[in-house]
Amino acid sequence: MQHRPVLSVLGRALGAAGLVLAALVPAGTAAAAGREEPPASGDPRAVASSGNAVKCSDVSLAGELVDLGHTVDESRASLDVTSLPEGLTVTGVVVKGGPAYNSYLPSALGPLPWRGLHAPVNPSGKPAQISHWFACAQRTAPPTGVPPTSGAVVPTPVAPAPRSRVVTPAPARTTSPPPAVTPGAAGGSAQGRIDPGPPSSPAQAAPAAKDPAPKEPGDLASTGFDGGWLVAVGGVLLLGGGALLASPRIRAALRRRS
């Protein structure tokens, strides 16, 4: 009969201890969850973040989702970006795996190709298998001073046709007739000189030939031929012919006298 109070006291003590343990276990679990370490990127070019991301706004990247030329290894542990779209500027690449994701910025990746992009590493130190990945890009801004091109076609200005030159002929030069020559006294004077006037051009006509002075009646025209020797020859021939004609008569007369 004396053991019952002792057992009841022990039972009550154990029950109270169980209640205390039941209250402490959730608090310890919550404290352990609060002390969870952030994910490790495993790549100095990347920034690791916990949670999930499926679009550009989830990771505060400008632009829209865009496809990039890439290859993924067989184990889906990493990928290589090999080409970028023309006219677009990539703002970032996100690789998701496990409970976290890695964010890559082009400034940290450098020139193409971008090799070995992966998700954050597991506690084992190896990258988690890639569940999905995406890239964000926006249109490249035109250079300063170059207006953006639109759909409208701007016609190319056409230079005006050259105007034809109108050649105005020069006025014809008139030549005044030479002044009359006034005979002056012996020794010459200013009145007997001819003013040469302005020099004539090759196009001016040659002066007309002067008419010859009229000849006196009975004068023969001078042809420049000298016929005096023909007259002398004719006289000799006449004398010779006369002598030939007269010689038979002379002979006949002499015969008659004898």
Lowest-pLDDT choice from 72-81, 164-173, 201-210, 217-226: 201-210
pLDDT, position 145: 64
Nearest to 57 by CA among 134, 109, 118: 134
pLDDT, position 49: 97
pLDDT, position 236: 79
pLDDT at 211 over 70: no
**97/63 same-domain check:** yes
Provide the pLDDT confidence category of residue 22 given band limits of 50, 70 and 90.
Answer: low
Q: Check residues 81 and 174 and name the one with the higher pLDDT.
A: 81
Lay out the sheet containing 88-97: strands in order across: 46-50, 100-104, 88-97, 132-139, 64-66
Provide the pLDDT confidence category of residue 237 given band limits of 50, 70 and 90.
Answer: confident
Within a domain: 230? no
**53/84 same-domain check:** yes
Segment 81-105 shows an average pLDDT of 97
Q: Check residues 49 and 218 and name the one with the higher pLDDT.
A: 49
Nearest to 78 by CA among 97, 100, 56, 52: 97
* Structural domain boundaries, residue 59: 46-139
Segment 85-111 shows an average pLDDT of 97
**132/55 same-domain check:** yes
pLDDT, position 240: 73
**69/135 same-domain check:** yes
Number of structural domains (the chain) is 2
DSSP code of 192?
G
Q: Check residues 245 and 183 and name the one with the higher pLDDT.
A: 245
**3/65 same-domain check:** no
